[in-house]
Amino acid sequence: MKHYENFVNGKFSPSGSKERIEVINPSTGQPICTVPESNASDVDAAVSAAASAQRDWAKQPAIERAKFLRRIADKIRQNVEPLARIITEEQGKILDLARVEVGFTADYMDYMAEWARRIEGEILESDRAGETILLFRQPIGVIGGILPWNFPFFLIVRKAAPALVTGNTIVIKPSEETPHNAVKFCELVSETDLPPGVINIVHGRGPTVGKALASSARIGMISFTGSVETGSAIMAAAAPNITKVNLELGGKAPAIVMSDADMDLAVKAMKASRVINSGQVCNCAERVYVQRKVADQFADKLTTAMKATRFGNPLVDESVEYGPLINEAGFRKVDSLVHSAVKAGATVVTGGKRASRDGGYYYEPTVITDCRQDMEIIRREVFGPVVPIVTFDDIDEAISYANDSDYGLTSSIYTRDLNVALRACQEIRFGETYINRENFEAMQGFHAGWRKSGIGGADGKHGLYEFMQTHVVYLQRY
């Protein structure tokens, strides 16, 4: 078994702690490798490296910084297959999806590099004679990135690419579930001439390494993707230093299926949305509202589709449609939400239990009908291959059900009626709405949750500007 280290100041360096985290393959329950269970001093050393690198990094023209991003993108493209295999082994997604993740990550790096010539300030009209007011956009300094495990490789770059092109440096804490891909990322970075300290990676647990990063007085912004509970803890840790937070949190995406919808399209989209990455995606349809007239027909078709879904160890059988859940805790959460729905009167039409395969954390593809708005399965994020269905009578009811949630990340509606689609867009209170399709979002969009789904957002121009602060200069002529 291999033992990996942190990546600080351009080198793989041992942690001050002797403790190690064993990385587990969720498809088999077997260990893969270890990374350090780092401590607060390791975070401090990485922040120091990032802070001293930042001064020179920010002095380079953005177009020069962008060249490094493109070089890293090229390295990623030359390593799609080994990277995809690492992601699949430690996270459990199917290889094709892992390949898509790696390819998208390289494209995202190039996309953010393109912004180098497009970062703009503003010239503002003054109230005073002979004065010019200039608004500059400047880097924040050192960014702290804290990552989840579900798209672990892409999330490194979703934080690092906008941070770097805008003149910041970064310290990243990968999820303790999926650190191996981050090690490989650092190997690729070290094959380029990126100056030391611009990207640093510290492995470890949330309450130690994550907390030390969020509470560091030398971090200018914490960009976090993960659960609502952790987002709240990070805000609290950042509060004493008034550190800016950028939070991409959980979702409970509603999908509304109107009776005039293309039923086959809606079923196909819903199944894909629930089985992709074993249902562990923040913007997947987590609760499905179907108009009463077509509810039975929809549930029948979806049940047939879900029953036919093949799952298993994605490294052994490349034809499976989904792999295991991330770990035993993930499995227990999904199972307990399904049981609580049944206890509250819902009906499991198919699935609803663990599948014993190879010692991994597999859950059967599951469809649950007779769900109600007050059930836990409709209110809490499930993160598994489970579709809970609620019926409604008219669009008013569907919109009020959709909006009745602590979460506000993504939403979708299936209809052929443009008026209904437009009405949903105007009245659904979510950061994103998909019409007649499910996820994913575009890199030129703006992925930003309402309510407890987050603060700020990622991607596109608006995501880029999250990594900059303004500086207004008043230039008075004699």
Pairing of β 468-476 and β 131-139? antiparallel
Nearer CB in complex with ligand NAD: 329/475: 329
Fill in the amino acid letter for 1.
M
Which residue's entry shows tokens 């991330």?
A: 326
Nearer CB in complex with ligand NAD: 391/453: 453
Q: How far is the CB of 259 from ligand NAD (least distance, A)?
A: 30
Q: How far is the CB of 171 from ligand NAD (least distance, A)?
A: 13
- How far, in Å, CA of 41 to CA of 49, rounded? 12
- How far, in Å, CA of 234 to CA of 231, rounded? 5
Contacts of residue 254, Cβ cutoff 8 Å, sequence gap at least 6: 285, 286, 287, 288, 289, 401, 402, 405, 411, 412, 428
Could you write out the three-class secondary structure of 274-301?
HHHHHHCCCCCEEEEEEEHHHHHHHHHH
Q: Which of 33, 282, 284, 371 is catalytic?
A: 282
- How far, in Å, CA of 22 to CA of 27, rounded? 15
* Structural tokens at position 73: 């993108």
- 49: nearest Cα among 95, 97, 13: 13
Fill in the amino acid letter for 48.
S
Q: How far is the CB of 249 from ligand NAD (least distance, A)?
A: 5
Q: How far is the CB of 134 from ligand NAD (least distance, A)?
A: 34
Nearer CB in complex with ligand NAD: 286/364: 286
- 450: nearest Cα among 250, 267, 183, 270: 250
* Structural tokens at position 84: 């995809």
Nearer CB in complex with ligand NAD: 115/149: 149
Q: How far is the CB of 253 from ligand NAD (least distance, A)?
A: 10
Q: How far is the CB of 451 from ligand NAD (least distance, A)?
A: 12
Pairing of β 199-201 and β 454-455? unpaired
Nearer CB in complex with ligand NAD: 20/205: 205
Nearer CB in complex with ligand NAD: 210/385: 210
Q: Which of 90, 248, 364, 381 is catalytic?
A: 248
CB 433 within 8 A of CB 425: yes
Q: How far is the CB of 194 from ligand NAD (least distance, A)?
A: 23
248 is catalytic: yes
Contacts of residue 465, Cβ cutoff 8 Å, sequence gap at least 6: 137
282 is catalytic: yes
Residue 44's CB is within 10 A of a number of other CB atoms, namely: 17
Q: How far is the CB of 453 from ligand NAD (least distance, A)?
A: 6
Nearer CB in complex with ligand NAD: 112/267: 112
Q: How far is the CB of 173 from ligand NAD (least distance, A)?
A: 6
Nearer CB in complex with ligand NAD: 208/366: 208
Phi-psi region of 383 (alpha: psi -120 to 50; beta: other; left: phi over 0): left
Nearer CB in complex with ligand NAD: 301/447: 447
* Structural tokens at position 44: 């401090």
Contacts of residue 252, Cβ cutoff 8 Å, sequence gap at least 6: 286, 287, 378, 379, 380, 381, 405, 406, 407, 409
Give me the residues that bind ligand NAD (CB under 6 A), please.
Answer: 146-150, 173, 175-176, 205-207, 210-211, 214, 225-227, 230, 233-234, 248-251, 282, 381, 409, 447, 449, 454
* Structural tokens at position 400: 């009020």
Catalytically active residues are 248, 282
